[in-house]
Structure 1
Amino acid sequence: MTARTTTQGEHMDPELAALAAAGATTLVQQMVGDGWAQVRDRLARVFSRGSGGETGDGETARTVRGELDLSREELVAARAGGDHDAADDVQAAWRSRLRRTLRADPAFAAELRALVDELTPPEETSRGGNTYNTINGGAHGIVVQAGSVGGSVRSMYGSTPPAQAGDTTPR
């Protein structure tokens, strides 16, 4: 992925825009999780490096930690009150902040991507839901279609498949 700085009014690289959206989504999910303090501190350090605070221990890191904690309080209150718009506003605000930071500091993309990758739970191999299978063309005998099969599969016809039209095989 190549990052480039954009000026006001220019469109952002779609990959960076997607990264900002993924970052905001991940951040909001982490705000209500058990490991919030570690995520907050790590993100504060990353933000402060991009603004000249080399170690992430200065005033900028404290300011970002405070902003993150305030956002968390707003999010928790919004969710507790069933205010979905306010919860969405928290995510939108951080998406916008991440986009601005990515525009100003293309190197931030690698750090944000690593953080998102680390904090995003692995996708499940099976999502559940509905599976729709179709067979086209001719099929003779038993056909089994499945997303995944565990255990043994048995035919409801026993060991001999039913006769098909035009099938002269003795049963």
Structure 2
Amino acid sequence: MDPHIIELAGTAGTAIVSAMATDGWQQARERVAALWRRFRPDDVEACMQDLDAAYAASRGGAAGTPQNDSSAHATWQGRLLTLLLSDHAAAEEVRQLTHMLHAMNPAPPPHVVQHAEVHDHGRVYQAGRDQYIPER
């Protein structure tokens, strides 16, 4: 099995689950539905029922728990992997969907922790961004 397909399915599954917590969820849902209508029209209804159930579970207060997130991610990774394996032409549209979903839910800035120890007249210069130190 192509590792790129597995990676794409995992990334897209994560993006779908993450999009459930955004204001653009309805737009994301419609894009997932359009993808299924194009490549798996016989499976659209079941797919949308599963998607709506996962969304309802995420709104029921269980979202964000590792078990719930893992379960939803595994479900959507599996669905997407099945889709990609049945029709390789879907890969580009899954990539586009993933990019759109990531744009809706940008990653938070990284949390930075700095620690330094100085001994014997040493100096430490720390910065979270740019730093200019004029040496004399």
TM score, norm. by length of structure 1: 0.60
Superposed CA offset, 1:78-122 (max 9, x none): 635x74313311111111111111100111110000111222146
Q: When you count helix as a share of all residues, which structure comes out higher?
A: 2
Question: d(CA) in 2 for partners of 1:76 and 1:84?
Answer: 15
Runs of 5+ unmatched residues, structure 1: 1-11, 54-58, 132-143, 160-171
Runs of 5+ unmatched residues, structure 2: 115-124
Query: CA offset at residue 128 of structure 1?
Result: 5.2
Q: Which residue number in structure 2 is paired with residue 65 of structure 1?
A: 48
Amino acid at match of 1:102: L
Q: Secondary structure at the match of 1:33?
A: coil
TM score, norm. by length of structure 2: 0.74
Cα-Cα RMSD: 3.0
Q: Is residue 153 of structure 1 aligned with residue 133 of structure 2?
A: yes
Question: d(CA) in 2 for partners of 1:90 and 1:24?
Answer: 8
Structure of higher CA gyration radius: 1
Percent of residue pairs identical: 29
- How many residues get paired? 126
Alignment of 1:14-163 (within 5 A): 14-51=3-40, 53=41, 61-77=44-60, 79=62, 83-121=65-103, 127=110, 129=112, 148-150=129-131, 152-155=132-135, 159=136
Question: d(CA) in 1 for partners of 2:65 and 2:99?
Answer: 29
Question: d(CA) in 2 for partners of 1:33 and 1:19?
Answer: 21
